[in-house]
Amino acid sequence: MALNQAARTTDPNRRDILKSTAGVAGASIAMSALSASRVMGANERMRVAVIGTGGQGQAHVRSWVEHDNVEVAKVCDVDEKRAADAAGLAPGAEAVSDLRAILDDESITAVSIATPDHWHTPAALLALDAGKHVYVEKPCSHNVREGRMLVDKQRETGLVVQHGTQTRSSEGHMQAFRMLREGVIGDVLIARAWNVQFRGSIGKAQPSDPPSGFDYDAWVGPAPFVPFQSNRHHYTWHWWYNFGTGDAGNDGVHEIDIARWGLGVDTQPSQVAGIGGKYFHDDDQQFPDTLNVVFEYPGDGSVGQKKQLIFEMRLWCTNYPEGVDNGVEFIGSKGRIFISKRGKFFLLAGRNERMDQKPEGALAASVAAHQRNFIDAIKGQAEPHADALTAHLSSSLSHLANLTARTGRSFSFDPETEQAGEEDVDRLLAREYREGHWAVPRV
């Protein structure tokens, strides 16, 4: 079931939203958290449900139980063992296998979604429709169209959405980017982000029976159904078009988000130029292991307003730029900044003169700090650091990067309509769904 592409290109709300937020770093197009329909009292106990309890989902549970006045009421997974393990991390939590048991529970204030990527937006939309605030893992969407649906739904409901790009809650990064805004390296014209690490082969496999205790049909959910295969199961689903977004969406989105944040761009890009593919692993994975992509933001088109965001991905290499696997550098008219969530930072003035200025806060990303900001937003005490629009604009770059490899070419992109005007690209900005499934997003 394909979503109607024509309908989205003429949506006046979309154009108004993008125009009204252009150039405002971290702006929220949703109704303010202060006006959300379920603002909590300062001392009210919040009941949370975690949907998806693999490695990251269990990390969510462990972190949630450390917060004051937060109770993990339910955990949900279609893998019986994973659900039971997660329930064991939160005394009193009920393990369920169907997320509708969470949606129907009016006592649950918020959900924490750590499913495979193809479930991120469908589960988030259902939760928002059920009146629940949403913390959703990165990337917030499986494709560009779903990200826009999430933005629109947040605006409609006025509920809080927080994206799992937890570096947004790093005090050190906030301080570093205040330095950028104050002109410490002049006009910032280029951001370069990289995701360089070794990812092992997923091998080659044939369809087989799913393991016992694992409801594969429910796991596939609204995605087109394909037979179970051992190398598109736990974690390896990342590398398949139906379920994942490759490592650009898995790990690269963190650095892409940091780069876009520091660069200060809050629209979609207008040009996407890239090349990549499978250069190393001869296995079943469908996504590239190598990507080099440049996004252009024209601003008003005048000299000094154009900006570039460069993304590099090599999944077969351990020779890291600046000695770190994940990092971002910002190049300005008067200097350069390098920053990494691994805790590294330096500032260079003109002609590579090393300066002593550096942020005082921690550079490391913290799930707990990001959850705390989410809680404060629900209580009306803060705005979310990574709201739905922030999530969508950064996740979109991962999707667009993948499309350069999938289509084998570069393309123009309209920031307002979120279309390329080329059939092969526009077709992949959305996705096909499983006919008749209850979780298929509705326009």
pLDDT for residue 42: 66
**What is the tens place of the pLDDT at every residue in 186-200?**
999 999 999 999 999
Non-local (6+) Cβ contacts of 408 within 8 A are: none
Residue 434 has pLDDT above 80, yes or no: yes
> What is the per-residue burial (b if ≥16 Cβ within 10 Å, else e) of 267-279?
bbbbebbbebebe
Distance of CA 82 to the CA centre of its chain: 23
Mean pLDDT in residue range 204-222: 98
Non-local (6+) Cβ contacts of 87 within 8 A are: 75, 93, 94, 95
**C-alpha dist (Å) from residue 16 to 22, 29, 146, 351, 412:** 10, 10, 18, 43, 21
**C-alpha dist (Å) from residue 23 to 20, 89, 336:** 9, 42, 22
Question: Tokens 């906030």 sit at which residue?
Answer: 174
User: Which of 1-10, 102-111, 249-258, 326-335 has the least mean pLDDT?
Assistant: 1-10
Residue 373 has pLDDT above 70, yes or no: yes
User: Which of 33-47, 210-224, 256-270 has the least mean pLDDT?
Assistant: 33-47
Q: Say which CATH superfamily domain 5-14+24-169+367-386 falls into.
A: NAD(P)-binding Rossmann-like Domain (3.40.50.720)
The mean predicted confidence, pLDDT, of the chain is: 92
Mean pLDDT in residue range 24-39: 40
Residue 21 has pLDDT above 60, yes or no: no
Confidence of residue 304 (pLDDT cuts 50, 70, 90): confident
| Residue 304 burial (C-beta neighbours within 10 Å; 0-12, 13-18, 19+) | exposed
**Domain residue spans in the chain?**
5-14+24-169+367-386
pLDDT for residue 311: 99
Non-local (6+) Cβ contacts of 212 within 8 A are: none
Sign of CA dihedral 417, 422, 428, 432: positive
pLDDT for residue 26: 37
Number of CB atoms found within 10 A of residue 369's CB = 19
